[in-house]
Amino acid sequence: MSVSAPVWQAAFDELVAFATGGPRRDALLESRAEYFERTGEIFEDDKQFEARMASMLEFHVFDRPSPTSGLTPAREYYLEVVTQGPPERAAGFRKLTETLHSLFLVRRLKEGAVTLEDLHDGATIEVAERRALAGLGKGDVLEARLVPWDEQPSFAPAFCFHPRQVAELIGREARRRRKVSPDAPRETLIWDCARRSLKADRYRNVALEKIYDFSASG
């Protein structure tokens, strides 16, 4: 049985069209350069190419403020919509300004939901998910973005799955950073792990534990 698109998908598509068209195309190119500088350059033959391009688009739409307005495209569009339409429509686009991008540890899977631990702050979050995410299991670590549309948030399209063998290493590093640098942006560890994930795909002859050795340079 096919799974229908999430209820917020049409609003997301509308927001993407706004954020990538016309006068914002140059900003998209700037976002792309900044994103891949921080997470590692991607090539078309990389296994993660499509996933990383989707993640870059989410970074542009949700996270990167315009150098002129100081607002993300999501925030800019919400402020346009709030003056033009019914409150219910504006409320939906407001929710798209409140997404949560983080590294998560899978605590539990059950039909229709996944229970996650946010490795940035230790918070427990239950996510609505009707799909069976291939290969995902309890104890896995993934980079994802949550969209707070309904009572339970749901996953945005882009994911980065980290090898199960290094989940404990990532969790340990997250706990260490919470202790020594509690005010550090969550993206610091997200992007560090993203670079290591690319290396793990490209250098299969190198032990995963060495690639995810946070005591050494990433």
What digits encode the pLDDT tens for the residues 112-124? 899 999 999 999 9
Mean pLDDT lowest for which of 49-53, 55-59, 86-90? Answer: 86-90
In terms of Cβ atoms closer than 10 Å to its own Cβ (0-12, 13-18, 19+), residue 185 is: exposed
141 sits in the region (left: phi over 0; alpha: psi -120 to 50; else beta) called beta
Say if residues 96 and 124 touch (Cβ distance below 8 Å): no
∠ CA 6-58-166, nearest 5°, is 95
Domain borders along the chain are 9-211
Residue 46: per-residue pLDDT: 95
The enclosing H or E element of 52 equals helix 49-58
For residue 68, pLDDT over 90 is answered with: no
∠ CA 73-104-213, nearest 5°, is 110
pLDDT-based confidence at 136, cuts 50/70/90?
confident
Residue 184: per-residue pLDDT: 92
Rounded to an integer, the average pLDDT of 5-12 is: 82
Distances in whole angstroms, Cα of residue 55 to Cα of each of 7, 86, 101, 158, 213: 20, 30, 10, 5, 24
Distances in whole angstroms, Cα of residue 171 to Cα of each of 16, 147, 164, 216: 33, 23, 11, 16
